[in-house]
């Protein structure tokens, strides 16, 4: 891993970091890691196996034996296509709960680091710059106001034809942010050396341009 260039993009839910990270990766021809998907997959696998999200040892075991294949933009869990299933609000909430368990985070560490391959990696999540890739050449903390993020999530759900209630989404986002920030291990925070990118007033294009400009400026 030492010589592989990594761009770490961290930030809260629905800040747009996934879109930005994916597009930066495409532009540079780098690999892409959606680390949130790994927490979501663990939550879904636990649910399917009848393991409670609060049972740290049992969820850790689920995390260790997770049978996942990333095939382009499709994700297979034990051979089953779960690309859409892991995006539900229920699994998002489960992911946030299991992500607060220290042993689960340790169990998922090597799996995330294995994504760092030539010619480079763009990784998005909560602790990419602080824990998983502390030597990342560029660290970005990408955020937006809670209202802007709730609005984006609301539009995404509507576009997918799912029932959406802005007040419920806002409350859920705030609860998830609070849990992600307050947990004892790898809390969501702007790590030292990370550049702040507030996308409240920015288009995705402008955010991508900014990250690429920072990268070229390194
Ligand atoms: O980015 P997301 O909404 O897909 O992430 C789902 C949950 O996973 C989120 O509530 C926090 C957790 N997570 C984490 O703790 N660390 C990461 N690197 C990525 C996600």
13 close to ligand 1 (CB < 6 Angstrom): yes
Mean pLDDT over residues 101-112, rounded?
96
Q: In what order do the strands lie in the sheet with 74-77?
A: 68-71, 74-77, 80-81
Mutate to test the pocket of ligand 1, among 86, 89, 121, 126 (most ligand atoms within 8 A of CB): 126
42 Cβ inside 6 Å of ligand 1? no
Pocket of ligand 1 contains residue 123 by CB under 6 Å: no
Q: Is 191 in the pocket of ligand 1 (CB under 6 A)?
A: no
pLDDT of residue 2: 57
Check pocket membership of 127 for ligand 1, CB cut-off 6 A: yes
Complete domains list, the chain, with CATH: 6-216 (3.40.50.300)
For residue 99, give the nearest of 12, 1, 195 by alpha carbon: 12
Phi, psi values for residue 199, rounded to 5°: -100, 10
Looking at residue 214, its pLDDT comes to 98
> Is 177 a pocket residue for ligand 1 (Cβ < 6 Å)?
no
> Which residues on neighbouring strands pair with residue 71, listed in sequence order?
74
The DSSP H or E segment spanning 118 is: none
Q: How far is CA 124 from CA 32, 171, 172, in A?
A: 8, 23, 21
Q: At what angle do helices 35-48 and 56-64 cross, to 10 degrees?
A: 110
Q: What are the residue ranges of helices labelled H in the chain?
A: 17-28, 35-48, 56-64, 89-98, 102-113, 146-159, 166-182, 204-216
Output the CA 160–ligand 1 centroid distance in Å. Answer: 21
Whether the CB of 210 sits within 6 Å of ligand 1: no
pLDDT of residue 55: 98
Task: Write the pLDDT tens digit of every residue in 60-91.
Answer: 999 999 999 998 889 999 999 999 999 888 99
Is 99 near ligand 1, meaning CB less than 6 Å away? yes
Q: What is the pLDDT of residues 116-138, one digit of tens each?
A: 999 999 999 999 999 999 999 99
What pLDDT sits at residue 73?
85
pLDDT value at 186 more than 90: no
Q: What per-residue confidence (pLDDT) applies to 121?
A: 98
∠ CA 48-51-53 to the nearest 5 degrees?
Answer: 105
Closest ligand 1 atom to 17 CA = 1
The mean pLDDT value of the chain amounts to: 93
Reported as a pLDDT band with limits 50, 70 and 90, residue 181 is: confident
Q: Among the atoms of ligand 1, which is closest to the Cα of residue 176?
A: 10
Which of 12, 14, 22, 39 for a ligand 1 pocket mutation test, highest count of atoms within 8 Å of Cβ?
39
**Residue 157 banded pLDDT, cuts 50, 70, 90:** confident
Q: What does the pLDDT average to over 179-195?
A: 87
Taking each helix axis from N to C end, the angle separating 89-98 and 35-48, rounded to the nearest 10 degrees, works out to 100
CB-based burial, 32-56: b 16+ in 10 Å, e otherwise: bbbbbbbbbbbbbbbbeeebebeee
Q: Within 10 A of 90 (CB to CB), how many other CB atoms are there?
A: 11
For 4-61, how does the pLDDT look when each residue is reduced to its tens digit (9 = 90+)? 999 999 999 889 999 999 999 999 999 999 999 999 999 999 999 999 999 999 999 9
Query: Is 96 a pocket residue for ligand 1 (Cβ < 6 Å)?
Result: yes
């Amino acid at each position: 891993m030492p010589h592989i260039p990594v761009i770490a993009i961290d930030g809260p839910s629905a800040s747009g970091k996934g879109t930005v990270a994916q597009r930066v990766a495409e532009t540079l021809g780098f690999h892409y890691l959606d680390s949130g998907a790994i927490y979501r997959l663990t939550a879904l696998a636990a649910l399917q196996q009848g393991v409670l999200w609060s049972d740290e040892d049992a969820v850790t075991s689920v995390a260790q034996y997770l049978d996942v294949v990333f095939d382009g933009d499709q994700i297979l869990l034990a051979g089953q296509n779960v690309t859409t299933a892991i995006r539900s609000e229920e699994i998002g909430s489960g992911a946030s709960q299991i992500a607060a368990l220290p042993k689960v985070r340790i169990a998922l560490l090597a799996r995330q680091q294995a994504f760092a391959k030539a010619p480079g990696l763009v990784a998005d999540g909560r602790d990419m710059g602080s824990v998983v890739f502390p030597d990342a050449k560029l660290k970005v903390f990408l955020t937006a106001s809670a209202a802007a993020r709730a609005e984006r999530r609301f539009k995404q759900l509507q576009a997918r034809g799912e029932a959406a209630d802005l007040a419920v989404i806002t409350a859920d986002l705030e609860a998830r942010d609070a849990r992600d920030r307050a947990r004892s291990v790898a809390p969501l925070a702007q790590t030292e050396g990370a550049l702040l990118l507030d996308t409240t007033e920015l288009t995705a294009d402008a955010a991508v341009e900014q990250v690429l400009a920072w990268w070229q400026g390194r």
